[in-house]
Each structure stands twice: as structure tokens, then as C-alpha cells.
């Protein structure tokens, strides 16, 4: 029977901190549980938990996607994920690849071979997704409140700054395409300006051709 492929993951936030205390407990756990029946490697990061991309975590997830991992063991879940939504993303991917997650100090073991393990996996995913939905709702509520106060979202409109020059060029009979090339504006923006212009007094429509 193939040996279990176990990856120990550890993270500290700064270079002043040491991985040793958390890794010692995790390694002792692995020795008790699998003895010599598992292939165990250790991956560590020295990075803030707020960073989504970390060298060690990226390496770990590459092994996951290549089917090179059976179990990931860490000291606490917050060593792995930067937030509940981020952790939900990781756990969901582990679930898709039938990989167990163990957090030794929290009594978490999502071993897919046991009903309790599957339940823990589903609870973790549900809690993290619930937190993510709360964040989305809070953002939307904040935006709605800001709009009620007259705050506008999105990039500020700057097309009006170029309108006078665009109108002048169009009135000279220059095509929309050439006006766009001269002003550096998108062709669609120039065409929109041309469509808003009134008919001149001689009754002839301003040129709106987009041909060269």
C-alpha cells in the first residue's frame, strides 16, 4: 500500500519569530499518527497572513493540484488561510482533491474516511462561505448608504474635457476615426460626442463617419 503523503505547513509573520514551536507539536503529532508509514515534508512561510500569495503556500497548492498530497497538517487554521473567505477557497480545493486537513491545536481532522471528518470539512466550508457573504452584504450596504448621500462610484468622467476640441475637429469635416487618432480618445467616445451635436444652421448634419 502506498505511503501517506503528508505536508506540514507552518507560517510566522516576521523574521523575528520562529517556526520551531508550532512545528515541534505538528511533527510529534505526525510521528504518533503515522510513525514510519508516511512520507512527510515540511513547507514554511515567513509572511503576513494578510498576503494571499506566499512562496510556501503557492508551492503547497501546486503539489495539491498535481495530486502529490494526501494530508496537510498545520498548527492552527489561521497559519494557512489569511481570512475565512481565503480559507474557504483553500478548503474547497482540498475537498475537490480528497485531501485531509489537520489543525493539531484545534482538534480539527477532516479525514474523508470518517463521518466526523466529512462533517468538519463541510462545517468549515459553510462557516467560511457565510462570512464571505456577510462581507459582500456589508460592502453593498455601505455603497447604498454612500449613494444616498450623493457619493458617486466609478472612475470620474473626463470626456467633457475633450469635448470642445472634438467638436471643433468634427465641424472641420474630419472623420470620427481621424479625430480619435488625433486626440487619443477611443473611437466610441468620439462617435458618442458626434451624435450629441445639434444640426448646424445650414441644415447639414455634422460628419459622423467612422471611415478613414
pLDDT in tens, 83-142: 777 887 888 888 889 899 999 988 888 887 777 777 877 787 777 677 767 777 888 888
Packing angle of the helix pair 176-183, 187-196 (nearest 10 deg): 120
The residues that are catalytic are: 13
Contact call for residues 103 and 72 (beta carbons, < 8 A): no
Closest CA to 92 of 108, 79, 76, 81: 81
- Residue whose cell numbers read 480539527: 108
Beta-sheet pairing, 38-46 with 4-12: parallel
The residue whose grid cell reads 512545528 is 23
Q: Could you tell me which residues come within 8 angstroms of residue 141 by beta carbon, excluding any fewer than 6 positions away?
A: none
The count of other CB atoms within 10 Å of the CB of residue 119 is: 11
How would residue 51 be classed by pLDDT, with cut points 50, 70 and 90? low
3.40.50.300, 3.40.50.1390, 3.40.50.2300, 3.30.70.260: CATH of 4-134: 3.40.50.1390
The pLDDT confidence band at residue 204, using thresholds 50, 70 and 90, is: very low
**What is the band of 5 on the pLDDT scale with cuts at 50, 70, 90?**
very high
User: Domain extents for the chain?
Assistant: 4-134, 155-212
In the predicted structure, residue 146 carries a pLDDT above the cut 90: no
The percent of residues in the chain predicted with pLDDT above 70, rounded, is 84
Residue 164 pLDDT > 50: yes
Higher pLDDT among residues 165 and 50, named by residue: 165
- pLDDT in the model for residue 61: 92
User: How buried is residue 160: exposed, middle or buried, by Cβ count under 10 Å (0-12/13-18/19+)?
Assistant: exposed
Mean pLDDT of all residues belonging to the chain = 80
Amino acid at each position: 500500500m502506498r505511503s501517506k503523503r503528508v505536508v506540514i505547513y507552518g507560517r510566522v509573520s516576521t523574521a523575528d519569530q520562529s517556526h520551531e514551536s508550532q512545528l515541534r507539536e505538528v511533527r510529534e503529532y505526525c510521528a504518533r499518527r503515522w510513525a514510519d508509514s508516511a512520507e512527510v515534508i515540511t513547507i514554511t512561510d515567513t509572511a503576513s497572513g494578510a498576503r494571499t500569495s506566499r512562496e510556501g503556500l503557492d508551492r503547497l497548492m501546486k503539489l495539491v493540484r498535481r495530486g502529490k498530497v494526501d494530508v496537510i497538517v498545520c498548527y492552527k487554521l489561521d497559519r494557512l488561510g489569511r481570512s475565512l473567505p481565503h480559507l474557504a477557497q483553500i478548503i474547497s480545493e482540498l475537498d475537490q482533491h480528497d485531501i485531509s486537513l489537520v489543525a493539531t491545536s484545534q482538534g480539527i481532522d477532516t479525514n474523508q474516511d470518517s463521518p466526523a471528518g466529512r462533517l468538519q470539512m463541510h462545517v468549515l466550508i459553510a462557516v467560511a462561505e457565510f462570512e464571505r457573504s456577510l462581507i459582500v452584504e456589508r460592502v453593498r450596504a455601505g455603497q447604498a448608504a454612500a449613494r444616498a448621500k450623493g457619493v458617486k462610484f466609478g472612475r470620474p468622467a473626463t470626456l467633457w474635457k475633450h469635448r470642445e476640441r472634438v467638436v471643433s475637429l468634427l465641424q472641420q469635416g474630419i472623420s470620427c476615426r481621424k479625430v480619435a487618432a488625433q486626440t487619443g480618445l477611443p473611437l466610441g467616445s468620439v462617435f458618442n460626442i458626434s451624435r450629441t451635436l445639434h444640426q448646424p444652421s445650414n441644415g447639414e448634419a455634422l460628419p459622423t463617419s467612422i471611415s478613414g
